[in-house]
């Protein structure tokens, strides 16, 4: 499924190495409403800062994105390169540069090879309409092992509209706004304020609650374009059908976030940490994130070790308020901790640990709030991949 009114193109610029498509463009055939969320890391890549300025207008026509180079920690030249990349695409498309959003992912601290990017731009724009959204998903991969995409359809004003999204990310994932890169497009018309609210809420429930290695990227960006090709009256916060749009977007971003964690660098298991009956949602999230980020928990999962003590310890230092003598812990459906002490189910729990998907449930018995965080195990391959990242 693809929303109406969008075209795509990919090209090879040999940004990091030759032999693959590593630059792509998403173009809306109509003026689109834009919304975005960006990394909260103090160190922000040049394209992130560029997009943060442009997003204030709430308007856009194109996104140009490259893999192989993050254009982060590259000084004023990096800022010039980000804007030049946007300007090159805008010139070819005959649109304002302010309507083109540049995004990058890859190695930090290396200048953009503009001498290779410039000559690739005519071919990129010439190819518009010859590539698919999935082709763009492939072009933005770095250490990802597969492209990530998802779609939803929903009825608006008697007609079916589509929301589609792609993302990349497998490492340096502990987002505090979004994932490494995520691009969502829809043919449903949505008013700027409502679009930003829906995206921010969806990101909070999905990308902000995944972690692979505890590192927040310099390039985290999530952008959504709504071009109104469906022909509906723009949805607002008060529209009757806005709740359905918001729900569909929530589902889409959660599906994408699961794909990111499933593809975690070196990962062999997908892990969902669910904390229930916390005093409030903030406490539930604190405990869940502490457990999900714990290297000791993640290595225990990899080793099929039902070491629930590491989970109790992580919940304890999370600063969530609860009575340890009331807490319960499950591995899938096997209860291993009852009121803070062992339930003598280690053998059954070990069998659960061997499965490809594991749910760790912690009941704090401190209230009625809950939160879930997605993570993965930590393996030797994660170390190998990142030790060789620049080679």
Do residues 74 and 95 share a domain?
yes
Which of the listed residues 262, 291, 322 is the one where a domain comes to its end? Answer: 262
Does residue 201 belong to any structural domain of this protein?
yes
Residues 6+ apart with CB under 8 A from 190: 33, 198, 226, 234, 235, 245
Do residues 332 and 311 share a domain?
yes
| Whole-Å CA distances, 305 to 50, 278, 352, 356 | 46, 26, 10, 14
Do residues 238 and 92 share a domain?
yes
Instruction: Lay out the sheet containing 341-342: strands in order across.
Output: 341-342, 334-338, 328-331, 357-363, 270-278, 369-376
SS3 382: helix
pLDDT of residue 177: 58
Cα 150 to chain centroid, rounded: 12
* 318's tokens: 């999370």
pLDDT of residue 345: 95
* 211's tokens: 């972690």
Do residues 240 and 279 share a domain?
no
Distance of alpha carbon 261 from alpha carbon 375, whole angstroms = 6
Does residue 138 belong to any structural domain of this protein?
yes
Please give the positions annotated as active site. 179
Q: Which domain holds residue 107?
A: 6-262
Do residues 189 and 280 share a domain?
no
pLDDT of residue 215: 64
Distance of alpha carbon 140 from alpha carbon 143, whole angstroms = 10
The residue to which tokens 């190998």 are assigned: 384
Which of the listed residues 235, 262, 289 is the one where a domain comes to its end? Answer: 262
pLDDT of residue 25: 98
Consecutive 10-residue averages of pLDDT for the chain (391 residues): 95 92 97 95 95 98 96 96 97 96 94 96 93 96 89 95 91 61 97 98 89 76 97 96 97 93 80 97 95 93 95 97 98 97 94 95 98 89 68 59
Does residue 1 belong to any structural domain of this protein?
no
pLDDT of residue 208: 85
pLDDT of residue 173: 55
Which of the listed residues 219, 245, 262 is the one where a domain comes to its end? Answer: 262
Do residues 16 and 51 share a domain?
yes
What angle, rounded to 10 degrees, do the helices at 242-262 and 192-205 form?
40
Do residues 254 and 274 share a domain?
no
Positive or negative torsion for Cα 77, 49, 182, 207 = positive
Do residues 195 and 290 share a domain?
no
pTM of the model as a whole = 0.88
Do residues 327 and 248 share a domain?
no
Distance of alpha carbon 132 from alpha carbon 3, whole angstroms = 12
SS3 117: helix
Which CATH number belongs to the domain containing residue 317 in this structure? 3.10.20.340
Do residues 329 and 236 share a domain?
no
pLDDT of residue 175: 61
Which CATH number belongs to the domain containing residue 29 in this structure? 3.60.70.12
Do residues 135 and 211 share a domain?
yes
Does residue 123 belong to any structural domain of this protein?
yes
Do residues 252 and 329 share a domain?
no
Q: Which helix (H) or strand (E) holds 69?
A: strand 59-69
Counted domains in the chain: 2
């Amino acid at each position: 499924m693809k929303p109406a009114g969008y075209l795509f193109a990919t090209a090879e610029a040999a940004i990091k190495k030759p032999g693959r498509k590593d630059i792509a463009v998403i173009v809306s055939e109509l003026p689109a409403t834009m919304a975005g969320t960006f990394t909260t890391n103090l160190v922000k890549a040049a394209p992130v800062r560029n997009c943060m300025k442009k997003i204030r207008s709430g308007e856009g026509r194109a996104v140009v994105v490259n893999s192989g180079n993050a254009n982060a920690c590259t000084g004023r030249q990096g800022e010039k390169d980000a804007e030049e990349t946007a300007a090159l695409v805008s010139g070819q498309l005959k649109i304002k540069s302010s309507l083109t959003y540049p995004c990058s992912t890859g190695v930090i601290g290396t200048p953009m090879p503009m001498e290779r990017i410039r000559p690739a731009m005519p071919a990129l724009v010439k190819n518009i309409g010859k590539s698919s959204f999935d082709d763009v998903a492939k072009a933005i991969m770095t250490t990802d092992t597969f492209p990530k995409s998802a779609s939803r359809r929903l009825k608006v004003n008697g007609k079916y509209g589509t929301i589609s999204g792609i993302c990349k990310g497998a490492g340096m994932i502990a987002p505090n706004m979004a994932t490494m890169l995520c691009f969502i497009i829809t043919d449903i018309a949505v008013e700027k304020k409502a679009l930003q609210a829906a995206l921010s809420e969806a990101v909070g429930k999905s990308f902000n609650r995944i972690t692979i290695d505890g590192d927040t990227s310099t390039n985290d960006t999530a952008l959504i374009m709504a071009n109104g090709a469906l022909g509906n009256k723009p949805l607002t916060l008060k529209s009757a059908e806005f709740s359905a749009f918001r729900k569909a977007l929530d589902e889409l971003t959660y599906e994408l976030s699961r794909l990111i964690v499933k593809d975690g660098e070196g990962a062999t298991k997908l892990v969902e940490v669910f904390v229930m009956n916390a005093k409030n949602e903030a406490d539930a999230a604190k405990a869940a994130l502490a457990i999900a980020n714990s290297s000791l928990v993640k290595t225990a999962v990899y080793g099929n070790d039902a070491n629930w003590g590491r989970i109790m310890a992580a919940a304890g230092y999370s600063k969530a308020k609860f009575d340890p003598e009331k807490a319960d812990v499950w591995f899938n459906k096997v209860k291993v901790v009852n009121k803070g002490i062992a339930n003598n189910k280690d053998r059954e729990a070990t069998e659960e640990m061997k499965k490809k998907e594991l749910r760790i449930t912690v009941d704090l018995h401190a209230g009625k709030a809950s939160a879930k965080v997605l993570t993965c195990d930590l393996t030797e391959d994660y170390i190998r991949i990142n030790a060789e990242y620049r080679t």
